[in-house]
Amino acid sequence: MQSFIDQWLPIFYEAIKDTFLMVAISLAFSVLIGIILAIILILTRPGQPLQNKFVYQFFNLLINVIRSIPFIILLFFMLPFTKFIVGTSIGVEGAIVPLVVNAAPYIARLIESSLLEVNQGVIEAYRAMGIKTHQIIWNVMLREARPAIVLALTIATISLIGATAMAGLVGAGGLGDLAYRFGHLRYETDVMYVTVILLIIIVQGIQSIGNRLAARMKKD
């Protein structure tokens, strides 16, 4: 037992670190892009004051197209593009670009639907008060949608963890990669079990933190 720990602890530590890094960085970029896309969709959708059929349809289609490509295909399909952007297509950096491309449209959709849930009456009340549109976006729409957005991002984070495991295929490292290389290719089943248990703990933890945070923000 002690020898198992001595032998594997540094490797697990490294894998967990890589997973966290990949998830955190790609989540940050995806959320940023996702929020912007969601706001564009909300503002330009038909019936809104800033409605714009062309812009709305363009982003709508773009999101749908990317979302219909399975991540594993996206991963390989994007290799040259990744290399162009970050200079390498392997390792943590190499995984970030496809992860963001995969997660941003998904997050955009989740945030879009959270924003659509915001009471239109409140938005209208703020318009009637003569408050600027960008202030309404921040202080009414995003504010009121916060609990829903937190839950949406919890879901997105968990599916990003799943995607990082696949990113192991391009040599990205992380827990998924560990389980695949040692557990699957070298029949170290103990490593596989420990990885799975770790993943379960991480996913559970994130979900409960998300739920608790959302519940605290929700005031009704």
Give the C-alpha separation, 214 to 198, whole Å. 24
Nearer to other proteins, 10 or 49 (CB): 49
Query: Residue 57 or 139: which CB sits closer to other proteins?
Result: 139
Amino acid at the residue 95: A
Nearest approach in angstroms of CB 190 to other proteins is 47
Q: Which stretch binds other proteins (CB under 8 A): 63-71, 90-98, 116-124, 189-197?
A: 116-124
| b/e 174-193 (16+ beta carbons within 10 angstroms → b) | bbbbbbbbbbeeeebeebbe
Among 57, 135, 189, 204, indicate the residue that binds other proteins (CB under 8 A).
Answer: 135
Decide if residue 8 touches other proteins (CB under 8 A).
no
Q: What angle separates helix 189-217 from helix 143-167, to the nearest 10 degrees?
A: 170
Q: Which of 98, 97, 114 is nearest to 41 (CA)?
A: 114
- CA dist 213 to 59, 157, 169, 185, Å? 30, 14, 34, 40
The CB-based long-range contact list for 66-69 (8 Å cut-off, 24+ gap) reads: 66/101, 66/102, 66/105, 67/105, 67/106, 67/109
Which range of residues in 77-85, 91-99, 115-123, 187-195 is near other proteins by CB under 8 A? 115-123
Residue from 122, 137, 198, 213 binding other proteins (CB under 8 A): 122
Residues near 188 by beta carbon (within 8 Å), at least 6 away in sequence: 182
Which residue in 88, 139, 204, 211 binds other proteins (CB under 8 A)?
Answer: 139
CB of 79 to other proteins, least distance (A): 44
Residue 47 interacts with other proteins (CB under 8 A)? no
The distance of closest approach from Cβ of residue 50 to other proteins in the complex, given in angstroms and rounded to an integer, is 11
Find the binder of other proteins among 78, 140, 151, 161 (CB under 8 A).
140
CB of 163 to other proteins, least distance (A): 31
Residue 65 has which token pair?
A: 């197209």
Q: Point out which residues bind other proteins (CB under 8 A).
A: 119, 121-122, 124-132, 135, 139-140, 143-144, 146-147, 217-220
